[in-house]
Amino acid sequence: MDSAPAMGRWLRDQGWLPDEMLCSTATRTRQTLDLLNAPHVPTRFERALYLAGSGTMIDILRSADTETVLLLGHNHGIAECAHHLVAAWPDHPRFADYPTCATSLIRFDIATWKDLRVGTGHCEGFAVPREVISAGQTG
């Protein structure tokens, strides 16, 4: 249970604080969300994110209203979503298998989330809990 708090610290230390969170309704994702210790921001719980594929996740992202969004879902869909969204994969060996609680920071040059297109994101950060924890990293 150290993974989510470690990744929450990593996100905060990277300066990536969401304005909106989109989260699966599953108990496990709700627990993960609590353990991230994210600042209080509006959270929309989406039943459709439960075991969703990347297409559904991208459609839900297109409904976001704010600038910075945290999407919390389940593998294999969340991995496929990250893989499909970026123009180029980060130089990290674990991006391919996207372990539990892996986290990607992806920037898009779009005016609104409705403009989101596959293969247009710029991966500005990627981390996996084991590395963040073992490095004693908080940033």
Residue by residue, what is the 3-state secondary structure of the chain?
Answer: CCHHHHHHHHHHHHCCCCCEEEEECCHHHHHHHHHCCCCCCCEEEEHHHCCCCHHHHHHHHCCCCCCCEEEECCCCHHHHHHHHHECCCCCCCCCCCCCCCCEEEEECCCCCHHHCCCCCEEEEEEECHHHHHHCCCCC
Confidence (pTM): 0.90
CATH code, 57: 3.40.50.1240
Q: Based on the structure, what is the number of domains in the chain? A: 1
139 domain residue, yes or no: no
95 domain residue, yes or no: yes
Q: Could you list the residue range(s) of the whole structural domain that residue 117 is in? A: 3-133
Model pLDDT for residues 35-94, shown as the tens digit of each residue: 988 778 899 999 999 999 999 999 999 999 999 999 999 999 999 999 999 999 999 999
27 domain residue, yes or no: yes
